[in-house]
Chain A
């Protein structure tokens, strides 16, 4: 049995804000913004929620179907509740997994958690641990009136990796990294900065292209060997463009394109696309998955579903559609901007 993802959970806050409402607040043309970003609304965590509370929700869901011993807990986020003080240990305590586990928080913009998945897989494969819980959780915010304000969203995804009855086997992975500062937040500053169009071609597209081409070569597969593909979703346009560039069809990615409804939940964004796809995947079908983290890097995985997926599948679309709308001032309050 190959190593892989044994179970998963996710959390989507119930509130949404319409992109049109943000656009109207700033006197912008809502239709133009929706069309240029491919996003119509985004998920909003309340003032009582943060990356840690959301991680507890998604991890609890992942742990319901878990019968293995969690001996590592990695927490990926770019909105940690403490600058110094690990979220991983607080979550471990809340989940009551004892004390004999390796814990650390990881930081690498939107791919903080997928790198940690690779670390977890390595520990499992080398029989150092039985299984690892990896969390991707963010309450992401953009500076009011910055382009990021239209997409930065909240959400959390948790996965348990191990060898016991995985739902997704990992057939291969590859990483592509370089010093490319397209998006950053300096110590002490509340909001991130970004390089506008520089976040595109030399950043998102170059790195995902690098990781995906390599993993396809390593596994001797090509796009038509996959039923689904999932790419990081900073907006609704980039994943469609990278899919086309790499030779994947609209049909292969359409189940993952939840960014138009949920926005970009940063570390959770690509994984949210993956768990949305898991609602539909059948045993033996392959999923190509690629994250992207600014700064920059991309981790690509070849996953293959097993029959275990039927037992551990979680309803996603229904949860996504349980929603209430807030206006712009409530959104600012929930995000603690005012």
Chain B
């Protein structure tokens, strides 16, 4: 049984120093209730995606904190799967109501990252990596750089092929009023940016951001007709080894491939029917992997096809990718990202994406990854 998304709201993403984690949660929940013209009393449960509240702020038991803000007694669950925390929250919300007609739940993802120093946030994010990777001093830029090196060597690509992903996503970010970065960058600027972990430069990396995003989903068909709505045709998740050491291949994410395969089967569509996708570009190399692992492009083709800007909005191709700006330009408040991705599809499929609106989109796909590929969530929506 399908469930329906009937509302979406996101805060601005960026350095929001004047707002706490739960200020952001509150703002996004109030926003989504207003968007869906829904009263909080109509909500049967809340799913909250958040990774770092416990690590950085000693801030857990989030369910009761959200209950406290709104005076609630309904079930509230917190999900954590690193950068896929939001995607997992949506997946569980969908599972929770899909066989229970007449239920309406709220899914919110939030992260507060910019109040701490870079070394603290880097260490906090590395809690999502294996013990060996942590002990060896690796960081996520380092892990993705290792994968990028293998990919570039095998398919004879250069840094400029990676940079095209950042250039495209920044071009989209300009059109998104809630994006962290709203400025164009060039390939030359990307290539000249400071090296973070060779071959990844600063402009190959998504930023550390604050932000929250929320969706309301319902299994009540009558309720869905009262609002602009889209259907969740499938939400699937898969896992893989946490450590790169255990992987058979460093040029693909198996969790993405498995989740995508299951999602296409459940939604009964093929990749070529997807018109719009929000994929997990935590680093430029990650978008190249995503395009291949989700079945849009063949293995090894992504560097070449990305360089032709096939998925850039203004090129009006059959598949447009990351109109929100992706993680790179829209920002990456990790718990919010998976919700924002599906929210962007909601805006596009309901004709509310304003300057970045694509035409005649029928199917959308969101792809959210935790860590270096230990978790992946693939969600397919349609109208």
Contacts and interface: CB of A to CB of B under 8 A. Distances in A.
Given A193-B117, A196-B117, A196-B118, A29 B194 contact: yes
A140 to B, nearest CB: 19
A198 interface: yes
Contacts of A196: 117-118
Nearest to A29: B194
Interface string B11-42: 00001011000000000000000000000000
Interface string A176-213: 00000000000000000111111000100000000000
A199 to B, nearest CB: 11
Contacts of A197: 15
Contacts of B15: 197-198
A32 interface: yes
Interface in B82-129: 114-115, 117-118
Interface string A74-101: 0000000000000000000000000000
A202 B17 contact: yes
A196 B118 CA distance: 9
Interface size class of A (residues with CB under 8 A): under 10
Contacts, number: 15
A198 B17 CA distance: 8
Contacts of A202: 17-18
Nearest to B192: A32
Contacts of A194: 117
A322 to B, nearest CB: 35
A32 B17 contact: no
Contacts of B18: 202
Given A197-B15, A198-B17, A202-B17, A32 B194 contact: yes
A250 to B, nearest CB: 24
A289 to B, nearest CB: 28
Contact residue range for chain B? under 10
Nearest to B118: A196
Nearest to A27: B195
A31 B117 CA distance: 24
A195 B15 CA distance: 12
Interface string B188-229: 000000100000000000000000000000000000000000
Nearest to A197: B15
Interface in B215-255: none
Interface in B361-381: none
A93 B118 CA distance: 45
Contacts of B114: 198
A197 B115 CA distance: 10
B347 to A, nearest CB: 29
Contacts of B115: 195, 198
A193 B115 CA distance: 13
Contacts of A198: 15, 17, 114-115
A220 B114 CA distance: 39
Interface string A140-180: 00000000000000000000000000000000000000000
Nearest to B15: A197
B127 to A, nearest CB: 21
Interface string A276-310: 00000000000000000000000000000000000
Contacts of A195: 115, 117
Nearest to A198: B17
A196 B113 CA distance: 13
A32 B189 CA distance: 13
Contacts of B118: 196
A26 to B, nearest CB: 12
A336 B194 CA distance: 31
Interface string B61-94: 0000000000000000000000000000000000
B289 to A, nearest CB: 29
B16 to A, nearest CB: 11
Nearest to B193: A32
A191 to B, nearest CB: 12
Interface in B49-67: none
Given A194-B117, A196-B118, 13 more contacts: A29-B194, A32-B194, A193-B117, A195-B115, A195-B117, A196-B117, A197-B15, A198-B15, A198-B17, A198-B114, A198-B115, A202-B17, A202-B18
9 contacts: A32-B194, A194-B117, A195-B115, A195-B117, A196-B117, A197-B15, A198-B17, A198-B114, A198-B115
Q: Closest 9 CB pairs between A and B?
A: A202-B17, A198-B17, A197-B15, A193-B117, A32-B194, A29-B194, A196-B117, A196-B118, A202-B18
Interface of B: 15, 17-18, 114-115, 117-118, 194
